[in-house]
Structure 1
Amino acid sequence: MKKIYLTIALVASVLGASAQNRKHVANFSLFQHYFNPALTGYEGSMLKTYYRNQWTGFEDAPKTIFASAELDLADLASWKKDGLLQTSETDTYNRQLGARHAFGLAVLNDRFGPFTETQLHLSYGTRVRLSEKLSLRWGAAATYSSQQLDASKLTMDQEGDPEFEGFKGESGKVGKLDLNMGLVLTAENFYLGYAMQDILKGKMTTGDDYLANSFPWQHVVQAGYRAALSEQVGLVVNGLYRYDAKLEETMEGQVKAVYQNMLWLGAGYRRDLAYSLQGGVRLKQLRLGYVYEVPTADARYLDKATNELMLIYNLLAVKYPKYGKKVTMW
């Protein structure tokens, strides 16, 4: 088995020798609640999952598996009352007015060289109607993460590195409880939100101390806009900005063309890291998507592409309109 010199060099230089790394997902617009708990249930009661194989072909490269469940109580109330979710072509069910309380559970597993991280998020989201067209959503999530270091896979970029010397041939483990909170302003065709992640800054940790002081307060800004260009074609634009004191800032955006609220094609860019192409299809309650990502700028020396597969399933049947000036996906 090849030793992962490049992985350790990345951990030591890019990640500040702390094993903290920022989780990237090219389809970030479809997994909004992971970044901001206020968006829990924003698109309805759903099961979501994605698999991301970063830098395909590079040994011990990052691999991420994510799965979540979101339950919007307004969906259940409307469905039990008169079946509004099973709409006609006019799509009379208005999510903007109905999404009052929602709950979510999300699990993420990420493997990168000698590091393994598992995250668990329990989230709640609610909304207050500000006007006929605007709502303000608020949310919070209790989070737990477990990070493990398998030092048998550790090859030092610098011999005697004190950051990891104590774990040579052994393993380390850290568990952390924390809190995320967020606010989002929403309307039928746009959203704008801000979230704070790791608010407790790792103060509630157990286990080894090799990740001490490695959990800064994270700031997340999300925005999206969608509009119909014709009765069959729509345009969707999404953006994501993240900042913390250790990894500093990351910005990314994507543009998608949507046909009959069923097919989409798009492109994205993560500043100094990657370009991406994506596509997908919605078949009744099921959405399938694929992203192909190519490294650029600071990440170009890796010369390995990234593949990302995603699946979303509506728990309650919704008949989305194929025609008319309304886009129903982000």
Structure 2
Amino acid sequence: MQKLLLIVSICLLVIKVSAQQNPQYSQYMMNTYLINPAVVGIEDYTDIKTGYRNQWTNFEGAPTTFYVTAHLALDKPDRTSTGITPNISKTIRRPLTPSRQFDGSPRVPGHQGIGISLISDKTGPSSQVSLLASYAYHIPITGHSKLSIGASGGMTQYTLDFSNLQVKDNPDPAILGGGKITAWQPTINIGMWYYSRQYYIGASANQLLFQNYNYKSNTDNTSGYSWVGSVFPHYFVSAGWRQELNEDWAVIPSVLLKKVNLAPITYDINLKAIYNDRFWFGASYRNKDAVVALLGCNISSLINIGYSYDFTMSDLRERSRGTHEIVIGVMLNNRHRIICPQHIW
């Protein structure tokens, strides 16, 4: 079997690069901002997360992804410190504002959210780096739920590094010369998120409007070639439910549907169990791809951590040693000392 690097290289060294896919994430539930900009500002603190994913660890040149995201709420007055016991997030799982809506339920004010993300993804000689800024507005629907509408925009740099290519038979002259070609492309994402403290449903569309870009060479070796790349819109629909079993245990089933133009619909089915709002574990099934083991801990009101391991089920399973992913979260300005996130599970 040829190594993944050779397969990817051959695909990329045609006149037109046919597709660029968003990175894959197994712990998107821990940081939904990666796929939906409408979640920015959903919590009561500044939510900072960094993640690293090493996919198909036995392959040279296999995908690796690194990201840093941060978002926070603006003018969010729907919680006060009255009656809140430090370190116990369960005590604030219901609105505390005294005002009432027409149906008698507590009124939940609207608020804004802003965020920023930096994502780096590399597969063999191909890499992309995105820097995006996001904005969302959270609209009260009932006393216990809100609808958030959000968008993000920024730039993505695509790079093809010929020095990382090794083709033995009839190599393209551009490959022999080495060097890099790069392209810059505007990126626009939109999303919506309807949520309460017990459930959520969201939809988003990423990489909209701008689909074709032209590579530019920084050497004379590749200047005679027309290098064109394409990105395809990505569509996501997700939903989840938090079911409290007793004072200590809760379970969270969730699902994610994904659609990329020119590709079939795929889906993730997830189930997590949380003990005392501190320790969680679970599993995911990604159709025709992997079974994922999940494990994490909300260490304190400042730090949480998650780890996942993908057991490959596709044709790559004979060579792949699985996929490792780790996510570390920091909750700054956490004035209520929340341990377990209230809306992103």
Identify the TM-score tier after normalising by the shorter chain: 0.7 to 0.9
What amino acid is aligned across from residue 319 of structure 1 in structure 2? R
**2:119: which partner in 1?**
108
**Of the candidates 264, 269, 272, which is equivalent to residue 256 of structure 1?**
272
Measured at CA, do residues 156 and 259 of structure 1 come closer, stay the same or move farther in structure 2, by a change above 3 Å? same
TM-superposed deviation, 1:170: 3.3
**Of the candidates 329, 338, 342, which is equivalent to residue 312 of structure 1?**
329
CA distance in 1, matches of 2:83, 2:110: 13
Measured at CA, do residues 221 and 43 of structure 1 come closer, stay the same or move farther in structure 2, by a change above 3 Å? same
Mapped contact 1:177–1:202 kept (Cα < 8 A) = no
TM-score, with structure 1 as normaliser: 0.84
CA distance in 1, matches of 2:149, 2:213: 24
Does 60-69 or 254-263 show the bigger shift? 60-69
Mapped contact 1:32–1:39 kept (Cα < 8 A) = yes
TM-superposed deviation, 1:251: 1.4
TM-superposed deviation, 1:92: 6.6
Mapped contact 2:110–2:139 kept (Cα < 8 A) = no
**1:71: which partner in 2?**
72
CA distance in 2, matches of 1:85, 1:120: 40
CA distance in 1, matches of 2:233, 2:39: 20
**1:170: which partner in 2?**
179
Aligned length: 317
Sequence identity (%): 24
Q: Aligned runs of 1:137-176 on 2, under 5 Å?
A: 137-156=148-167, 159=170, 166-168=174-176, 169-176=178-185
Are 1:279 and 2:300 counterparts?
A: no
Unpaired runs of at least 5, structure 1: none
Question: How large is the RMSD of aligned CA atoms in angstroms?
Answer: 3.1
Rg comparison, structure with higher value: 2
**1:8: which partner in 2?**
6
The structure carrying a bigger helix percent of its residues is: 1
Q: Aligned runs of 1:163-242 on 2, under 5 Å?
A: 166-168=174-176, 169-202=178-211, 207=216, 210-212=227-229, 214-242=230-258
Give 3-state SS (helix, strand or coil) of 2:318's partner.
helix
Mapped contact 2:181–2:215 kept (Cα < 8 A) = no
**2:41: which partner in 1?**
41
Mapped contact 2:31–2:344 kept (Cα < 8 A) = no
**1:127: which partner in 2?**
138
CA distance in 2, matches of 1:315, 1:85: 22
Unpaired runs of at least 5, structure 2: 97-106, 218-225
Measured at CA, do residues 299 and 216 of structure 1 come closer, stay the same or move farther in structure 2, by a change above 3 Å? same
**2:223: which partner in 1?**
none
Are 1:297 and 2:314 counterparts?
A: yes
Does 39-48 or 116-125 show the bigger shift? 39-48
CA distance in 1, matches of 2:181, 2:18: 12
Measured at CA, do residues 295 and 217 of structure 1 come closer, stay the same or move farther in structure 2, by a change above 3 Å? same
Does 118-127 or 297-306 show the bigger shift? 297-306
TM-score, with structure 2 as normaliser: 0.81
TM-superposed deviation, 1:13: 6.4
**2:103: which partner in 1?**
none
TM-superposed deviation, 1:244: 1.7
CA distance in 1, matches of 2:326, 2:65: 11
Does 174-183 or 247-256 show the bigger shift? 247-256
What amino acid is aligned across from residue 188 of structure 2 in structure 1? L
Q: Aligned runs of 1:74-89 on 2, under 5 Å?
A: 74=75, 83=81, 87-88=85-86, 89=88
TM-superposed deviation, 1:66: 0.7
Measured at CA, do residues 126 and 112 of structure 1 come closer, stay the same or move farther in structure 2, by a change above 3 Å? same
Mapped contact 1:124–1:141 kept (Cα < 8 A) = yes
CA distance in 1, matches of 2:173, 2:210: 25
